[in-house]
Amino acid sequence: MTQAGGAQTGGAQAAAPEGADPAASVLAAIRFDANGLVPAIAQQHDTGEVLMMAWMNPDSIRETLATARVCYYSRSRGGLWRKGETSGQTQHLRELRVDCDGDTLLLLVQQDGVACHTGRRSCFFRAARDGDLVEIAAPEVSPEALYGQAGCGHPHG
């Protein structure tokens, strides 16, 4: 497989021509899967806390880069999912990073409120300990308070 992008390092970047996709060089560096998706890990920018994993497609990446408000792709909804659109628990992008293989993204974010649909700060609230799976973080808010109904309402998809 050839390296995507082909961008030169060092020196100033020329302004993109009018009408050009401002995210083109970022998108060219990403290896999307057969469904046009790439996993994205959200991490709190100042503490390093891993918050969640979700999927992104080219449109969600473009929107995230353009607005600095994180937008994912929901497989279950089959469309864009703007983090916090139903719960109010938004993520603001501080930096988007692409891993060495181009097949995983790291989003450094400012998380407003909780990241998990269960009402916990992080989706990674269970740990394998002594052969068991143990909850290591309690909910900070009820899912009913987040989504206005009993049940999940969660679009990680």
What average pLDDT does this structure show over 16-42? 91
Average pLDDT, rounded, for the chain: 87
Whole-structure pTM value: 0.82
pLDDT band at 155 (very low <50, low <70, confident <90, very high): low
- Note whether 97 and 104 are within 8 A (CB): no
Residues with Cβ within 8 Å of residue 97, at least 6 apart in sequence: 105, 106, 107, 108
Class in CATH terms, 24-147: alpha beta
What average pLDDT does this structure show over 3-11? 37
User: What is the structure's pLDDT at 15?
Assistant: 56
* Rounded-to-integer distance, Cα 108 and Cα 146, Å: 23
Q: Hey, what's the torsion of the CAs at 42, 52, 35, 84, to 10 degrees?
A: -80
CA atoms within 13 A on the CB side of 152: 5
pLDDT band at 20 (very low <50, low <70, confident <90, very high): confident
